[in-house]
Amino acid sequence: MIPETSQDDTLAAAIAYQSDGLSVIPIKAESKESLVAWRRFQDERADETMIRDWFAQFPDAGVGIVTGAISGLVVIDIDNRNGGDVSGRELFGTAPETVTVLTPGGEHWWFQANGEAIRNSAGLLGDGIDVRGDGGYVLAPPSRHPSGAVYQWEVGRALGEIEIAPLPLEIAKRITAPAKPEPVTPSAVAPIREGQRNHTLTRLAGAMRRRGASAAATIAALDVENRERCSPPLTAGEIKAIAASVARYAPEAEAEPKVFKPLDWSIGDVEIVMVVEPWIPRAARVLLVGATESAKSMIATSWAVSLGERGARAIVVSEENPEIEDRRRLRRLGADRDHLTFFNGSAVDLADPEWVDALIRFAQGWGGVELIVVDTLTAAWSGDDLSNREIADFDREVWQPIIRATGAAVVVVDHTGHQQFGVRREGNAAARGASSKAQKSDVVLVMRKSADGFEIAHHKARLGGRKADPVIARVIDREDGTLAVEYAPLGSGDTADAQARERALRAVSDAPGTMTKTKLAAMLGMRKDEGLRVVSDLLAEGLIGPDEPRARLSLIVPEP
């Protein structure tokens, strides 16, 4: 429940929202812009410590709620200035009995998502009505609008005073079902929202440049699209910058003619130079996938730090974590600024060619860069990671150009896909979203938490190497306050079973009488079926027990 003082205490409100199971992010004062790389919080919720760190760093911040599955929340945004009040009455009859926020231009109606996968949309429910679901966020009381007005609860409809109503089934059907094809007219084209404006207009400008359009013609066309579709529009200076960035590329008519180049297989093999043993060769596209709390950011950063031990250099572009967390981690890992450059912030968007060019220029000017880490894909790139076509664009416009220009291996950190119906996504299918992520990669590494540390499994090795055996990575917290990462073989076959048996017995000994068979199996760092087999063997041998069908199992090591 939100405290009565929340209108005057944004931090208290943010913590209260978090305790109610909502995913919270900080918002720039009197703005709608997130102060952090917020896409991470579509998959995990910030804890209270992180929220307090944010508001200590940004004391004037507002508070945003990430909508969609992570918060179980869909918000209907009624914009009275564009006819939303009329459309809303046609849609619902009267204002729905649900939590309601009064905004400077209308209202936000909060609904339970009911497990439906509902993405952002504009205009599907009528003029002046937008939907915020997966892929979006809303500002919440007591945040301030860019106009200076305060978001506030409607009297009697604040969170805690009234329940969040389920989204009506007929409304859910309208915003989840595919829309019927309609003739495309200027008024039917969807608006371009914040977070997609630079990306969309840059792609339009690039298409015009390939067909020979001048900078002036490009600016004129972008200006029309910007005024009619962008919400809110970009500035004239930003439009000119987009046109100037693509004008550097030659139109297709001036480019060299395309020719097929036959492969000469008489040339000997190129020596494979490893940047990070035993997984990452030089100039490789690397996909590092892991669930929340699988230490993927820690491991990737430790690789970058380790290059300094042999005089090589690395760059990390981190849009994933707060600055205070990154600073602490780098100090404890013993990072050397002569050999590691670390960028942190929410401004970088690799969907913008200027950011790609800036990264390349920095790497070339610094020299000796062998590894570049992008952490994470969805935080540092505003494209749609659910689209195979846009992932192909990422490969062609970001991944490959950086590698060609620098010769470095580029590690892209990504989240695992959501698990469905109890089925674990394995190997190259582990990454969430488009399947082409793994297809475009030269190396795929999958991380998951296990009883002994963090398992790293090598699922793809395309540049002439071989897949390494799985290992366990352990983050060692030393007495002097520094951190180290150590690796140990996970083993295979009988060795893996023996190690799993040892882990099971140790886990039962540490927590006797409280563990179910399924829970114990999940702690063994194995597939579910393999873990259950190991536990069943131990039960059959009488090393743990008893096994009572249809009851909570009390697994206790027998007395000697």
Helix (H, G, I), strand (E, B) or coil at 314: strand
Closest CA to 444 of 274, 269, 290: 290
* Rounded Cα gap, residues 322 and 36, in angstroms: 7
Q: Is residue 201 scored above 80 in pLDDT? A: yes
Residue located via tokens 């992008």: 374
- Please give the span between the terminal C-alpha atoms of the chain, in angstroms, as a whole number: 52
Q: Per-residue b/e over 269-304, b at no fewer than 16 CB within 10 Å?
A: eeeeeebbeebbbbbbbbbbbbbeebbbbbbbbbbb
Task: Tell whether the torsion through CA atoms of 156, 158, 162 and 166 is positive or negative.
Answer: positive
The string of pLDDT tens digits covering residues 176-190 is 744 444 443 333 456
The string of pLDDT tens digits covering residues 158-182 is 998 999 999 988 888 888 744 444 4
Alpha-carbon distance values, 322 to 53, 328, 481, 533 (Å): 8, 10, 20, 41
* Rounded Cα gap, residues 119 and 393, in angstroms: 22
Task: Tell whether the torsion through CA atoms of 120, 124, 127 and 129 is positive or negative.
Answer: negative
* 475, β-bridge pairs: 485
Task: Lowest mean pLDDT of 127-136, 153-162, 471-480, 494-503, name the range.
Answer: 494-503
pLDDT at 557: 46
pLDDT at 560: 45
* 343, β-bridge pairs: 317
Instruction: Give me the mean pLDDT over the 311-327 stretch.
Output: 87
* Rounded Cα gap, residues 375 and 381, in angstroms: 10
- Greater pLDDT, 465 or 343: 343
Instruction: Give me the mean pLDDT over the 206-214 stretch.
Output: 78
pLDDT at 2: 41
**What's the pLDDT band for 141 if we cut at 50, 70, 90?**
very high
Asked if 506 and 450 touch (Cβ cutoff 8 Å), the reply is: no
What are 539's two structure tokens? 């039960």
The string of pLDDT tens digits covering residues 489-539 is 875 444 566 777 777 777 777 665 566 777 777 777 666 777 788 888 888
Closest CA to 197 of 155, 166, 161, 228: 228
Alpha-carbon distance values, 18 to 27, 64, 262, 291, 294 (Å): 15, 11, 59, 21, 22
Task: Lowest mean pLDDT of 180-184, 229-233, 436-440, name the range.
Answer: 180-184
* 130, β-bridge pairs: 77, 122
Asked if 465 and 272 touch (Cβ cutoff 8 Å), the reply is: yes
**What's the pLDDT band for 551 if we cut at 50, 70, 90?**
very low
pLDDT at 294: 84
Asked if 339 and 313 touch (Cβ cutoff 8 Å), the reply is: yes
Burial classification of residue 6, based on how many CB atoms lie within 10 Å of its CB (0-12 exposed, 13-18 middle, 19 or more buried): buried
Instruction: Give me the mean pLDDT over the 297-316 stretch.
Output: 94
- Percentage with pLDDT > 90 across the chain: 30
Asked if 79 and 105 touch (Cβ cutoff 8 Å), the reply is: yes
Q: Which residues lie closer than 8 Å to 545 by C-beta, 6 or more apart?
A: 539, 555, 556, 558
Whether residue 178 has a cis bond before it, omega within 30° of 0: no
pLDDT at 179: 42
